[in-house]
Chains A and B, each alone.
Chain A
Amino acid sequence: MEQIEMSEADSNKFQMTWQLQWSTLPHDLLLQIIDRLGLIEFLSFHGVCKDWRLASSISSPEEKSRDLWFLTYGEGSKCSLLSKQDKIYKIDLPELDGATCLASYKGWLLLFCNGSMFFFSPFSRAKIDVPNCPITELSDHAAAFSCLPTSQNCIIAVISRTSDEELELHMLFKGSNQWSKCNFSCEKRNLNTITGAMFHNGEFNFLDRFEGLVTFDACKSKEWNSYRLVKNDKSVKNVLDYYIQRDHLVFKDIKGKMELEDNVSITTCGTFYLRGKHNILIPGETIEAEEGSESSKNLKGVWIHPRYFHIEPNQTW
């Protein structure tokens, strides 16, 4: 008799642990699932309960080779988002009202708005202000940052042309308020308007729409180098270890997929990302409104990784 009671008690105990373990799934198991979720599913997950929200906020999922999403802005706070599955989402982002995206990398945007600069993660709405913006007005500026802006090693670089003969580079290291400035003699015929900017292997790379490439070693030598890009020339021994994907807007039929009218022009900010084993640079570009179309509308766009960053409020640079 006593034995039966014991085993019943045991089985009850077992049931209880079972239930308990299910409502508080071990975090390592949750993280493995989170790691495999797309952005939208991640947001569902996040809203389930406090414990899961905690798990998803402390997780920093491995960077998976997810395809890029495309975000358009430039009409007040109204923005549109095109997912990898070609689904359109309407999203309201007051932070993008009047702003221009200078760089997009690993899910973070570097934005310029009315003389100030900040990092912004559009999906979590996390914002990190960048001190003492070196730009008062945008002209041909291009920018890049070296890694996540929450990382201790992050460096921001903003480049522009001061004259037909000279480039000017402003750099800011994480934690510092003081931008450093350096100039580089580089004729415009060697590097035209910069459309692609990114950080790779310790160097900032700046590319124009043609064959120009200028690099700056921000970490060690602080040296500048200027190159001319050539295709399929076996006599050249230096080979780029990343791919450049030009005309991506047309290639991906962004205007068609986002159901944009003929009279819309889009100017984009590119990005740099890892797809499978390949590093790929998508430069910024512009699609003009179709000729003859009345009252054209100018939108801005940016390629972005669908990643979610939870940060403490009021995080500073």
Chain B
Amino acid sequence: MAKTPEPKRTISLKPCDGDVIEVSPMIAKQMQTIQSFIEDDSFIATTTIIPLPNVTAFQLSKIIDYLNYHSNSKAVADNVKESTKKFDEEFLKELEHDKLKELLHAANYLNVKEVLDFLCQAVADLIQDKSVKFVRKFFGVVNDYSVEEEEDIRRTHAWAFEGVEED
């Protein structure tokens, strides 16, 4: 992790369940929600601690890890691409489905475009070749269709769901 030499220039973020985490202004800038805090006149970098009631320490540090890694590897050389791909794979591997969902939510709350893009793609990839039931379970969404409505939808697109994984 690239640390700024002057500790006073870092931004203090307080997740809902842990100690304050210091981030460089460069990283903070990529979080739109934090950025709007910083731009506020009452913000004083040395003393203000930004509370993040919707983000856990785990989620915040994952997001910071991702941003740190990707801001340090902007080059397009093949070996960099290769290691970036590896980093992304490892990053996702460490996340169970529930954690991925929660991280997506945290990234949405913090409004970090780069992480959001990455996680949305990861979710889209997970849904690939999966049944409606799987998607419901994955997102924890309650089916509010009536039996008739559901049968109707299923029948309309029956062709698309032949041979998809049920779980």
* Interfacial residues, chain A to chain B (CB-CB below 8 A): 14, 19, 21-23, 25-26, 28-29, 32-33, 35-41, 43-52, 81, 89-92, 123, 125
Q: Closest B-chain residue to A38, C-beta based?
A: B128
Q: How many residues of chain B have a CB within 8 Å of chain A?
A: 38
Q: Is B5 at the interface (CB under 8 A from chain A)?
A: no
CB pair A52–B141 under 8 Å, yes or no, is yes
> Do A48 and B132 contact each other (CB < 8 Å), given the known contacts A23-B140, A29-B104?
yes
Q: Is B131 at the interface (CB under 8 A from chain A)?
A: yes
Per the bound structure, the CA–CA distance linking A40 and B131 in Å amounts to 10
Q: Please indicate the chain B residues that have their CB under 8 angstroms from the CB of A92 in the complex.
A: 159
Q: Is B154 at the interface (CB under 8 A from chain A)?
A: yes
Partner of A48, one of B108, B141, B154, B156: B141
Within residues 104 to 158 of chain B, which ones have a CB less than 8 A from any CB in chain A? Answer: 104-105, 108, 116-117, 120-121, 123-124, 127-132, 134-136, 139-145, 150, 153-154, 156-157
CB pair A23–B142 under 8 Å, yes or no, is yes
Q: Please indicate the chain A residues that have their CB under 8 angstroms from the CB of B157 in the complex.
A: 43, 46-47, 123
Q: Is B16 at the interface (CB under 8 A from chain A)?
A: yes
Main secondary structure of the interface of A (DSSP, over half): helix
Q: Is B82 at the interface (CB under 8 A from chain A)?
A: no
> Do A47 and B132 contact each other (CB < 8 Å), given the known contacts A32-B120, A37-B124, A89-B160?
yes
CB pair A14–B128 under 8 Å, yes or no, is no
> Do A32 and B136 contact each other (CB < 8 Å), given the known contacts A26-B108, A89-B160?
no
CB pair B136–A49 under 8 Å, yes or no, is yes
> Do A41 and B136 contact each other (CB < 8 Å), given the known contacts A47-B150, A89-B162?
no
Q: Please indicate the chain A residues that have their CB under 8 angstroms from the CB of B136 in the complex.
A: 48-49
Per the bound structure, the CA–CA distance linking A47 and B150 in Å amounts to 7
CB pair B124–A36 under 8 Å, yes or no, is yes
> Do A48 and B124 contact each other (CB < 8 Å), given the known contacts A43-B160, A89-B162?
no
Q: Is B18 at the interface (CB under 8 A from chain A)?
A: no
Per the bound structure, the CA–CA distance linking A50 and B135 in Å amounts to 14
User: Min CB distance, A245 to chain B, in Å?
Assistant: 27
Q: Please indicate the chain A residues that have their CB under 8 angstroms from the CB of B145 in the complex.
A: 47, 49-50
Selected A-B contacts with CB under 8 Å, 29 pairs: A14-B53, A19-B140, A23-B139, A23-B140, A32-B116, A32-B117, A32-B120, A35-B120, A37-B127, A38-B128, A39-B160, A40-B129, A40-B160, A40-B164, A41-B130, A43-B160, A44-B127, A44-B132, A44-B135, A46-B157, A47-B154, A48-B141, A48-B143, A49-B136, A49-B143, A49-B145, A81-B159, A90-B159, A125-B156
Per the bound structure, the CA–CA distance linking A92 and B150 in Å amounts to 19
Per the bound structure, the CA–CA distance linking A26 and B123 in Å amounts to 15
Q: Please indicate the chain B residues that have their CB under 8 angstroms from the CB of A26 in the complex.
A: 108
CB pair A49–B144 under 8 Å, yes or no, is yes
Q: Please indicate the chain B residues that have their CB under 8 angstroms from the CB of A123 in the complex.
A: 157
Per the bound structure, the CA–CA distance linking A245 and B72 in Å amounts to 41
CB pair B120–A36 under 8 Å, yes or no, is yes
- Total A-B pairs, Cβ < 8 A: 93
Q: A45-B127, A90-B159 are in contact. List 10 more A-B contacts (CB 8 A).
A: A22-B139, A33-B127, A40-B164, A44-B134, A44-B164, A45-B135, A47-B150, A47-B154, A49-B136, A49-B144
Q: Please indicate the chain B residues that have their CB under 8 angstroms from the CB of A36 in the complex.
A: 120-121, 124
User: Min CB distance, B59 to chain A, in Å?
Assistant: 12
CB pair B135–A33 under 8 Å, yes or no, is no
A-B pairs with lowest CB-CB distance, top 6:
A36-B124, A91-B159, A47-B132, A32-B120, A41-B127, A43-B157
User: Min CB distance, A308 to chain B, in Å?
Assistant: 10
Per the bound structure, the CA–CA distance linking A274 and B18 in Å amounts to 49
> Do A41 and B128 contact each other (CB < 8 Å), given the known contacts A47-B157, A89-B159?
yes
Q: Is B101 at the interface (CB under 8 A from chain A)?
A: yes
User: Min CB distance, B5 to chain A, in Å?
Assistant: 37
Q: Please indicate the chain B residues that have their CB under 8 angstroms from the CB of A52 in the complex.
A: 141
Q: Closest B-chain residue to A91, C-beta based?
A: B159
Q: Please indicate the chain B residues that have their CB under 8 angstroms from the CB of A33 in the complex.
A: 120, 123-124, 127
> Do A41 and B124 contact each other (CB < 8 Å), given the known contacts A48-B132, A48-B139, A89-B160?
yes
Q: Please indicate the chain A residues that have their CB under 8 angstroms from the CB of B105 in the complex.
A: 21-22, 29
Q: Please indicate the chain A residues that have their CB under 8 angstroms from the CB of B53 in the complex.
A: 14
Q: Closest B-chain residue to A29, C-beta based?
A: B108
User: Min CB distance, A60 to chain B, in Å?
Assistant: 17
Per the bound structure, the CA–CA distance linking A28 and B145 in Å amounts to 22
Q: Please indicate the chain B residues that have their CB under 8 angstroms from the CB of A49 in the complex.
A: 136, 141-145
